[in-house]
Amino acid sequence: MADTCGEFAKMKHRVSLQAVSQVSDGQGGYTESWATFATVWASIRPAKGYEKFQAAQLQTPVTHKITIRYRSDVTTKHRILFGTRVFGIKEALNRDEAKQYLDIQAIEQQ
């Protein structure tokens, strides 16, 4: 498939996709930690003011829009790490159902 909108050229940030994992504490319990399952190129854009306003009407506002090449294994149970910045995944959408790009609505965590 041709990249008609030049989206791939905009993917200049290297990000880590992470999933939570449970690690035994040696006493019958466990602790949770995040582990990287993939490192990919991404474009990261702050959400526009009106998008933040619309999102805040119903629930926690989306702070960023992140686009990566399509992957079927990214869900809202995962997070994105960009340097020291952490983004929770609010929604991951297969753009145009074409399995070419994944548009992620994200919330930057403090």
pLDDT given at position 61:
77
42: helix, strand or coil: strand
Of 68, 63, 60, nearest to 47 by C-alpha is: 63
Q: Name all domains of the chain by residue range, CATH numbers in brackets.
A: 7-109 (2.40.10.270)
pLDDT digit string, tens, across residues 72-94: 999 999 999 999 999 999 999 99
pLDDT band of residue 60 (cuts 50, 70, 90) is: low
**Residue 1: both structure tokens together:** 């498939």
Calculate the average pLDDT of the chain: 87
Which residues sit opposite 11 in a β-bridge? none
Instruction: Write the pLDDT tens digit of every residue in 43-58.
Output: 999 987 655 455 555 5
Per-residue b or e along 41-54, where b marks 16 or more CB atoms closer than 10 Å to that residue's CB: ebbbeebeeeeeee
* CA 92 to centroid of chain Cα atoms: 7
